Amino acid sequence: MEFLLAKVAELERNQQEYINYQNYAKAKLQQSERRISELEAIFYNIMSDEYTEHLSVTMENEPVDKFTNDNVTKVIKENNTRRTQELKRMNSRKLGILKREGITMKHIGFCATIAKGLVPVHEHDIIIFDTVLQNEGNGYNKQTGIFTCPLSGTYFFSLSILANPGSPTYVHLIVNGQIKANSFAYGTSFSDQGSISSIVRCEAGQNVWIGVYGGTQIYGEYYTSFSGFVLWGDPTGSR
């Protein structure tokens, strides 16, 4: 009886921690969306101002009689060349703004699943998601089930896990040995799906994996998957 009461208390604590993580994630996402909107406004203003200036200069310097049938191809090529150079200059300025804001433009993300059916698990196991669907940045290792962060920054991780009937399953999201989130799939008479969604600060070189706390087997067939990606990274060279 005491064991069951302790388990109930533990589940209640885990539920409250999950709610706290959800609230934190929501606040961070809203903050990120606001900042993205601000940066987009800056970009659009730059593009609008510079492109308008480019068009006005073009109209002033190119008389109407220049646009005759004999000169059309030449004019189009000249305009395309100028506009290409202008867009390159605009893109360079955009990247400069991102750099000043400390945002690293680097693609890092992975998605891995379990393709086979039943997979036996034991307490303290690392779940091996052996079928890689995406691995930008090559951070995920399908042999070990561990994702190694290539970049310091803020990451989003998600897990979906299907517990087989008769095998209640507890799992953790673990970052460098520390539990960051939990999931529980009951799986008594029927299969049950558990999940994790978490935003975590990680340093370059830190390891992230899904660890088993309890259970005997999980079900694959693409029902069980682990994924993550960087939301925003530190400026180059930061740790």
Give me the sign of the Cα torsion angle 212, 215, 216, 218: negative
Cβ atoms within 10 Å of 6's Cβ, excluding its own: 10
The pLDDT, as a whole number, for residue 164 is 83
Whether the Cβ atoms of residue 125 and residue 211 lie closer than 8 Å to each other: yes
Cα dist. 219→127, 167, 213, 216 in Å? Answer: 12, 10, 16, 11
Instruction: Tell me what pLDDT residue 190 has.
Output: 77
Contact 183, 194 (CB under 8 A): yes
pTM (whole model) above 0.85: no
Tell me: the pLDDT tens digits for 145-171? 999 999 899 999 999 999 888 788 999
Instruction: At 169, list the tokens.
Output: 């399953």
What is the C-alpha to C-alpha distance for residues 72 and 52, in angstroms, rounded to an integer? 22
Q: List all residues 6 or more positions away from 9 whose beta carbon is below 8 Å from its beta carbon.
A: none
CB of 71 within 8 A of CB of 100?
Answer: no
- List the chain pLDDT tens, one digit each, 239 residues: 666 666 556 667 767 776 776 677 677 667 766 776 666 666 555 555 544 555 445 444 555 455 455 555 666 667 667 766 766 666 566 556 655 655 555 689 999 999 998 899 988 999 999 999 999 989 999 999 999 999 899 999 999 999 888 788 999 999 999 999 999 888 677 788 899 999 999 999 999 999 999 888 898 999 999 999 998 887 654 44
